[in-house]
Structure formats: structure tokens, C-alpha cells
Amino acid sequence: MKNKFLYFVFAALIFAAGCGDPAPPADDTKASKPMPEAPVAKMQPEEMTIHGDTRVDNYFWMRLSDDQKKADTPDAQTQDVLDYLNAENAYKDTVLKDTEGLQQKLFDEIVGRIKQDDQSVPVKVDGYWYYTRYEEGQEYPYHCRKKESLEGEEEVMMNVNEMAEGYAYYAVGGRSVSPDNKLLAFGVDTVSRRQYTVHIKNLETGEIFDDIIPETTGGATWANDNKTLFYTKKDPVTLRSYRVYKHVIGTDASEDELVFEEADETFSCYVWKSKSKDYLMIGSYATLSSEVRFVDANNPNGEWQIIQPRERNLEYSVAHYGNDFYIVHNQDAKNFKLSKTSVNNTGKDNWETVIEHRDNVLLEGIEIFKNFLVVDERIEGLTNLRVMPWDGGDEHYLEFQDPAYTAYIAGNPEFDTEVLRYGYSSMTTPNSTYDYDMTSKERTLLKQQEVMDPNFSSDNYASERIMATAADGTKVPMSIVYRKGMQKDGSNPLLLYAYGSYGASMDPYFSSVRLSLLDRGFVYVIAHIRGGQEMGRQWYEDGKLLKKKNTFTDYVDCADHLIAEGYTSADHLYAMGGSAGGLLMGAVVNMRPELFNGVVAAVPFVDVISTMLDESIPLTTGEFDEWGNPKDEEYYHYIKSYSPYDQVEAKDYPNMLVTTGYWDSQVQYWEPAKWVAKLREVKTDDNTLLLHCNMDVGHGGASGRFERFKETAMEYAFFMMLEGIEE
């Protein structure tokens, strides 16, 4: 559903039901092939009444508990659900059968552009150079290190290919090496529910200890004694990270000491160590509030102290330097400011301003070095990196040339260095890693993503940044990329992607996968709609709670603008969004179904009312400040007015492909499954409607490096089928 950090980072990188023929190519004069009957889900009405309003859900029966899904022998309800999902998958396969050759070609193209024997840029930590590498044809990485010099002998800490043998899904999370470099803590998820079991490995002997810690977030944080580590436990039902435990190597996890419990169900918690390595930190966070506590990393049995008690509408993050904590916060500062305070006097009354609040600059984060402070800022929707010497010398910004780009602070674990490691990418520039000397201002390109296609050149593509005008006059940015030679005559197929939730900014980035669209004439556009944070904190606040509909109308206004400017037409316009972006897809096809020829809604959060009323579903309680709590009558009626599942009507809808994962912990599979079933029940068109449910994975898709692109190839082939593109 809805992971605030999806984002991340990763949400930018992913991308219901009637029977009938797929739309034929515009120039196809042959008779359409008869299509198979679409699955028809049984209707079993469930009445739900709140605030005097009754909703009838004919497909409520599709919901299964975790216990039902994991049972060796399915009960009747489980079998009915499995039968329906398998029928939908079979129908999808039949409808897309003529695209199988194209799907394979797309998959081969996408994988063929990836450097098979790739390696990350090494990062130095405590005398070792750490890196990840891949070998040709293998799905999973090798996590390696070399002592002191990159010319030294390689030590393979983990060969995930061997570890993953026999598993349909295998993910490693939260690798953490002890301060003495001898032990490795790591988490493993073999279900795709984002519940990890932590293991400990002796890097000197290769032994995996008997210490087994289940139901965690995946990571573990070492105290400085090399034997004590802290980890965060998840609630087994809601999957909320709610407890921090202390584990001592060699003891049974059942004996671990509970250090902190987050009792407020709207908050989650996590644990980490300061860059200085002096303090262990526990953070609690909700949508609108945060709280951090700390203890001396040399005294893991010491008493934890709170930096600033939680307050509603006060968010802050903490970094340590010398005798002070540096705090990025929004106290009387909508776009955040930077303050510092003594480690002995941490409350907000003692916070001393370092960087003032600015109405036109969003302060997103900092990186502290011995002689420099680096500030991550967002100005007019674009990321900027600002270097500030501690001695008061001249500060400066790094310079970037593309009209739309993303720049970010990369891994910088070393404190005493003049070099900043950062990353850069644009719609036409492959992801690049640089070292930047903050004194001489010289930058060194360490690595640029290799596109393994002899015909690829960035010069073949053009990028733009344009503005659409929303109905209320707001200017909404869009980042555009296309192959040079594109004519604005309305004939171009165009894929419009957006997310628009949680304040997650969808920055312009390069994608070698996307080239399969661009080289076939597609224009690709990212709409930076409200609900993200591209244009500052207000951009986020104007796209959430009782202003959530701005997210949807912004997207529609962007689509209208692209048509008006000749980039495409409604016959060639395609929409894509995932998770909360899938909610966006559901909302806009209810609002303006005639605007799109095809839509891919990936793991879509579409049953908003029912999910937000059910506090046993993962993530629900932590998101009342994002969507609103429908137990409040005002929020109930507002959410219902846009909730895609509740707003399905008897009218024509565009061609649609809906994807989900049976083990999804973020958006449970039954939301998209119910949505497709309801659309099949009431829609009035003969357009294609498909549901793809991957029975082995969860929210993020397949775990292998290449396997995940099979779904991407299917999505792209769906768009191309609608465009009449066969090669």
C-alpha cells in the first residue's frame, strides 16, 4: 500500500474487469480473433455500515488471513480464492498469448542492456573496502570486501546465489559488520512479506551461529563491544515495527531484552548507530511526528535518553558531531531548518539555528564531515547539493547541467575526509557515481552505468521539463524524455507515470529498461503531482488528507496539457502507477476514463475505505495522517468519494492490466483482485481487462536481478499490443 519510504526510493522504479478483444491495431483490417470467456467471480454480498452509510461488498470473501494462506491444506474459502486467481492468470495468459514472442524479445532486450558481471563502487569502512558484484547469468549478488587495499585478496562474505537455491523468493536485508570486522549480521526473507530472520556469521571461520532472530525488519545494529546488537521486531499480524530488542551473541533470542516498545499504534520504530559511532539511536516516527532517543554505544546496557519528546506536527532527524547533535526539523519551519544542541541539553528549547528556514527551499537532509557540512536541498523542484566549510569559508553548490535531473548524497561512512561521494542521473544520463573534492572542487567519475547495447548513445534522446496548469492555477512540473526526431503531431504513444503520495518525490532518472519504449516511439513522462514533495513541503500537504483529490486532478491536467501540446492524443495516451500510484490510476480512470487508451495499475491500493477501517491490516494505523481515519465521518465521506473500488460505475473504462503479488504485505492481493471482479461486473465496454497475480512474491516483485523484468516485459507488451506494435 502505502510504504512511506517506498522510495522510494524504490516506488519510482516500479511501475479491473470485462471480457472482449484487445483493441486491434489502427491499421489492422483483419477480423478480430474470438477471445475466451473472462473469469466471473462469485458474488457474496457483505454489508458494512458506518456513519449511517451502508456499503455492499460482493467480493469481501476474497480476503484471506496469513494463516489461511500458509496452511498446508487449503480450506474452502482459500481454495475458492486460489481458483479465482489462477483463472485470472490463465485468462491473462490466453489474451496475451499473441504477445509472447514480443514479451520474450523485450525481456531479452532489457536483460541484454544490463552488464552481467557488474560491480558496485567500493566503499571504505573501518579499513575494509566493501562492494557487491554479480557474475554472468546469475540472479543474485556476491557481497564482498578487501582489507586495506583494492589490490588485496577478495573475501566473499555472502554468495546469495547459493543461499537462494531452492527458494522461489529470497531477499537479504540489513547487512551489518561488527566494529572489529569479524561478525556479519544479516536478515533473510523467503516469503516476500518483508519479515526477516536475522542470522550471525563469523567472517573468519564462515560459521553461521545458532543465534536465530525471527520476525524482524531485517537489520541489526552493533554496540561497540562486538557482542551486543539491537534489532527491531515486527508485529506478526500488522507487520508494524514496534519493539527494539537487545541480543547478546551466543544466547537464545527468547532471552533477548526488550529495550523499547512503541505503544502508539500510529508510530513505528527503528534503530541505528550515529556516523560518529559514539551513539546508538532509536527513532519513532509517524506521518506528522518523530522522537529520537540515544545511548552511549560503548555502554549498551546504559539508560536511553530522549532528545526531544514527541509532539504532533514536529518532525526531526539527528546527526552527531563533536559535542553536539545536529537536528533537521520543522519547528516553526514548514520546509525544515537545521539546528544544533549540546548532547547534554537536547530539548528543543536549547536548539540553536544553523540554517534558517526558507520559503522557497526544502531542506531534505545533511551529511557531516570533519571539515564540511553538506546539505541536500530542493529548489524549484530540483535537488541541489550545498557544501559548507565548518571554518566559515566560502560555501558553494555543485553544478549540474540537465534541465531535469536527480542528484543525491551517496554512501559516505568516513568522517575524516575531504571527499564527498554523490550520485547523479537524468532522463538521458545513466546513473553516475562521483567523488568530489570539497576543497579543490574537482570531481572524479568513478562509475557510470553501462548500457550493454552498441547502438546506445545518450545523444539519441532529448529531455524536457515543462509545466502544466492545474484547475486552481497551480503550475505542475513534468519531466519528459523521448528519442530525438519526435514530432508533436498527436500521434506519439506516450506513457505518463506518477506517484503523488507520502511526500515521496519522483525525481527524473535514467532507465535502460525504458529504452525499449523510447526506441519504439514512445514518449515517457513523469508528472510531479501534488502529494509528492518536489516543490516543497506545501506540495505534499496540498495532496493529502482532505486535499487528496489535488493529486488526481493534477495528473488529469498534466494529461490534458500533453494532448493540447501535441505530444500525444487520447488514442495513444497510456497511464502507469504502482502502490499509492495504483490508487492514482484507479481514481483517474473513474474520473476521466476516455482520456486513456491503456492503463497499468501495479499493486494498486484501491480499496481505501475498507483497508483504512481495518487496523489489523499492515500499515493502516500508521497512515491515518496520510489519508485520514474513516472512523471520522468527514474523512469517511471524503475518502469514499475517490476510493477507486467504491467509485466503480457502469460506464466504459480503458484497456487495463492490473498486477499484484499473493504475498504482498503493503497492498494485500485482494484489493486489486476485488477491483477487477467489480469492474467485470459493472463496466459497459468490451475493452481488455486483465489481472496478473504472481503467486510467489509480494509488493516488490521477484527477488532475482533478471526475473523481475519478465513482468516489465509483459506490461510493455500490453501497451504495444494496444498500439499495434508487434516487434
Tell me the residue type at 234.
Answer: K
The answer to whether 449 touches 432, Cβ cutoff 8 Å, is yes
How far CA 530 is from CA of 474, 502, 526, 544, in Å, comes to 10, 10, 13, 8
The reply to whether 561 belongs to the active site is: no
Buried b (16+ CB within 10 A) or exposed e, 308-328: bebeeebbbbbbbbeebbbbb
| Positive or negative: CA dihedral 80, 84, 90, 93 | negative
Strands 655-661 and 598-602: parallel
Q: DSSP letter string over 280-338?
A: EEEEEE-SS-EEEEEEETT-TTS--EESS---TT--EEEEEETTEEEEEE-TT-TT-EE
Ramachandran angles phi, psi of 517, nearest 5°: -80, -50
Q: How far is CA 223 from the centre of its chain?
A: 30
d(CA 481, CA 61): 44
Q: Determine which helix (DSSP H) or strand (DSSP E) holds 217, and give its type and residue range.
A: strand 208-222
| From 324, 554, 646, 664, active-site residue | 664
How far are the Cα atoms of 142, 167, 425, 464, 573 from residue 431, in angstroms, in the given order? 21, 31, 5, 18, 28
Nearest to 601, CA basis, from 581, 622, 631, 619: 581
The partner residues of 340 in beta bridges, in order of sequence, read 326, 352
* Local structure of residue 470 (DSSP, 8 states): P
Helix axes 670-682, 76-95, angle to 10 degrees: 70
Separation between Cα atoms, residue 649 and residue 586, nearest integer Å: 12
Q: Is residue 554 flagged as an active site residue?
A: no
Helix (H) or strand (E) holding 377: strand 372-379
Verify whether residue 699 is a known catalytic residue: yes
Residues 690/656, Cβ–Cβ less than 8 Å? yes
Beta bridge partners of 233: 216, 243
Of 199, 247, 320, 699, which residue is the catalytic one?
Answer: 699
Residue 258 burial (CB < 10 Å; 0-12/13-18/19+)? exposed
117 DSSP assignment = T
150: helix, strand or coil: coil
CA distance 23 to 721: 8
Going by C-alpha positions, the residue among 428, 457, 432 that lies closest to residue 443 is 432
Q: Please state, in angstroms and rounded to a whole number, the distance separating the CA atoms of residues 421 and 518.
A: 31
Helix axes 549-564, 580-591, angle to 10 degrees: 60
On whether the CB atoms of residues 12 and 408 are closer than 8 A, the answer is no
Query: Cell 544544533 appears where?
Result: 340
Catalytic residue among 579, 643, 665, 703: 579
Residues classed as catalytic: 579, 664, 699
